[in-house]
Amino acid sequence: MYYANKISQSKSTDALKKAYQFFQKDMTASLKIDSKYRVVSDLLYISRIEFKTGFYNDSETSSVKALSILNKLEESDYNNDVRKVLYNHLGKIYKEKKMYPEAIKMYNEALVLTEKSKDSLVIYNNISNILKNQKQFKAAEKLLLEAVNMFDQAKDTMERARVLDNLGLIQLKLGKKEESLSYLKSALALKEGTRSNSSLYVSYKNLALFYSNEKDFSKAHDYALKAYDVANTVNSISYKLDAGKRLIELGDYSVAKEFVYLNDSLNTATKLSENKYALLKYDVSISELKSQKEKTKKQQYQFIAFIIFLLGTFLFFVLKSRHKKEKVLQVYNTETRISKKVHDEVANDVYQVMTKLQNNNYLNEDVLDDLEDIYTKTRDISKESSAIYMEHDFEDAITDLLLSYNSNAVNVITKGITTINWQSLPEIKKIAIYRVLQELMTNMKKHSKANIVVLVFNKENKKISINYKDNGVGCTLKKYNGLQNTENRIETINGTITFDSSINNGFKANLII
C-alpha cells in the first residue's frame, strides 16, 4: 500500500520509479507461486504508473493482461470489483489515445458491474467528457441529466459537483445559458461547503469561461483571478498555467512573465520525466533480458543433462542387450564345443572299444549291449548340441529338425511354417527357437509316448507364436533341467513360453517371440 499510495499521491519521478520496480519484482514473485490475483493487482498498479507517465500503449497492454487472467478465474464479488476498475482505467487510456468508441465501450463494461451510485456518477462523468470531445452535446446532456436523477441515492458531494459542472458546460455549448449558470453555481456551492481548494479551481475556471462567453469580461476576470489564486494555494503548475492563460486572454498581462517561465519549466520537467521513465523501462527491460538469458542458459544445461541421461540410458540397454546376446552365443558355442568333444573323443572311443570286444568270443553279450547303449546316448547328446548352420535356409533347417522325429510310431504335423519371414529374425533368435523346438521334440520322444505331434506357426502383429501339442501320456508339471533350459533360452531373447500338461492329457507349450 505504501507504493500504491506513491502512484496516486507522488509527483516525483523517482518515487514512481521505485514503485514501478517494486511491483515488477512483486509480480515476478507472484508468478512463481502462481498467485493470480496478486499478479492482477501488480499489473493494475504498473498500468497506472505507465498511464501517469504517458506510456499509454504500455498501460493498455498491462491492463489487458490483467483482464485476461481474471477471465480465467472463477466469478466473485472481488473479481467483478477489480474488473470494473480495469475497465474504467482502459476507458481513460482510450480517451487519451482519442479512441473514443473504445473508451465508451470500456466505461459501459464498467457500468454493468457497478452497484454503488457514487461509482455510477464517476462513469457517467467520464462518458460525458468523451461525448463532449466528440461534440455530441445532446447525448452528453441526456446522460448527465440521468446522473442528476440519481442524486437521491448518491450522497457523495464531490461527484455530484462534478456532474453539475459538466452539465453546466454542456448546456453552455447548447446555448441554454440560464440552466448552465444555475448548474455551475450549484456546483460551486457544493464545493464551498467542503472547503476543497483544488475542486474550487474547476468551478472558478468554468464560471470565468461562462462570463467570457457572455462578454461579461469583468466577472470573467474576477473568476479567472480567483482560479489563479487557488492554483497558487494548491501550488499546481498545471493550474497556474491554465489560469494564467485565461487571464492573458482577458487582457491581464501581469502574469505573462511567470506564465512563460512556468511553461518552459513544465516542458523541461515533462521531457526529463519522460526520459527518466524511458530509462527506467530500459533498465527494467535489460534486467528482464539478463534474467531471461540466465533462464535460457539454465534450460540449455537442463536439456544437455537430459540428452546425456537419454544417451546413457540408451547405451545401458544397448550394452545390456549386447551382453545378453554375447552370453547366449557363448552358451551356444560351449554346447557346440562340448558336442564336438563328446562325438570326437567319447563316442569314437566307445565305438573302438566295442569293435575290439566284438572280436573276443568269450565276452558276455550283455556287456556289448550296455556299451552300445552308452554309445547311442553319447551320439544323441552330441546331436542335440551340435552346431546349427545358419547359412542355409532357416525354414528348411526347422522343417528337417521336426521331420527327423517323424517315424512309423510318431506322426509330426506342422502348419504355417512357411508364413513366417524367417530371414528377418536375428541369428540369436533363430538359435533359441531351434534349440527350444529340439528340446520339446526330444522330450516328446523320450517321455510322452505320443503318436501325434502338432506344431502351429503364426504371425501375430510383429510377434511370432508357436503352439506345440502332443497326445502323449502327459505329466505333472515340474520344471526340471529340460523345461527350465527352454525358459531360460526364451527369456534371453525377451520372449515367453508357457507349458500345460496333466496325466493322460498330453503336453502343450506356447512360445511367443
Asked if residue 299 belongs to a domain, the reply is: no
pLDDT at position 426: 87
Asked if residue 359 belongs to a domain, the reply is: no
3-class SS of residue 491: helix
Segment among 13-17, 118-122, 127-131, 183-187 with least mean pLDDT:
13-17
Number of domains in the chain: 1
> Would you put residue 471 in left (φ > 0), alpha (ψ -120 to 50) or beta?
alpha
Asked if residue 477 belongs to a domain, the reply is: yes
> 130 falls in which pLDDT band (50, 70, 90)?
very high
Q: Using one digit for the tens of pLDDT, what is the confidence trace for 346-405?
A: 655 665 666 666 666 555 566 656 666 665 666 555 555 555 555 568 888 888 889 889
CB 138: neighbour CB atoms within 10 A? 12
Q: Using one digit for the tens of pLDDT, what is the confidence trace for 290-313?
A: 556 676 777 888 888 888 888 888
Q: Using one digit for the tens of pLDDT, what is the confidence trace for 272-291?
A: 555 555 555 555 555 455 55
pLDDT at position 19: 87
pLDDT at 156 over 70: yes
Nearest to 507 by CA among 463, 462, 449, 466: 449
Residue range 423-448: mean pLDDT, rounded:
87
pLDDT at position 381: 58
pLDDT at 474 over 60: yes
Residue type, 406: N
Segment among 151-160, 248-257, 303-312 with least mean pLDDT:
248-257
Distance CA 102, CA 444 (A): 91
Residue range 180-208: mean pLDDT, rounded:
86
Q: The C-alpha cell of 177 is what?
A: 445559458
Nearest to 86 by CA among 61, 115, 55, 52: 61
pLDDT at 508 over 90: yes
Q: The C-alpha cell of 154 is what?
A: 448518491
Residue 203, CA distances (Å) to 13, 119, 163, 276, 321 in order: 30, 21, 12, 34, 91
* Better-predicted residue by pLDDT, 322 or 425: 425
Q: Which residue has the cell 556289448?
A: 368
> Would you put residue 449 in left (φ > 0), alpha (ψ -120 to 50) or beta?
left
Distance CA 132, CA 200 (A): 22
Q: Which residues contact 447 (CB under 8 A, 6 or more apart)?
A: 472, 473, 475
pLDDT at position 510: 93
Give the CATH number, domain containing residue 486.
Answer: 3.30.565.10
Q: Using one digit for the tens of pLDDT, what is the confidence trace for 50-95?
A: 888 888 899 999 999 999 999 898 888 889 999 999 999 999 999 9
Asked if residue 21 belongs to a domain, the reply is: no
**Residues 416/458, Cβ–Cβ less than 8 Å:** yes
* Better-predicted residue by pLDDT, 265 or 449: 449
Q: Rounded to a whole number, what is the distance in angstroms from the first to the last CA of the chain?
A: 71
Angle, nearest 10°, between helix axes 197-213 and 177-194?
Answer: 160
Structural domain containing residue 472: 391-512
Asked if residue 414 belongs to a domain, the reply is: yes
pLDDT at position 305: 86
Distance CA 401, CA 377 (A): 18
Residue range 301-326: mean pLDDT, rounded:
79
Nearest to 141 by CA among 152, 159, 128, 150: 128
Radius of gyration of the chain (CA): 50
Asked if residue 377 belongs to a domain, the reply is: no
Asked if residue 307 belongs to a domain, the reply is: no
Asked if residue 242 belongs to a domain, the reply is: no
Q: Which sign, positive or negative, has the C-alpha torsion 38, 44, 46, 49?
A: negative
pLDDT at 467 over 90: yes
Cα atoms found within 13 Å of the Cα of residue 192, Cβ hemisphere only:
8
User: Dihedrals φ, ψ of 96, to 5°?
Assistant: -65, -30
Q: The C-alpha cell of 245 is what?
A: 492563460
pLDDT at position 158: 87
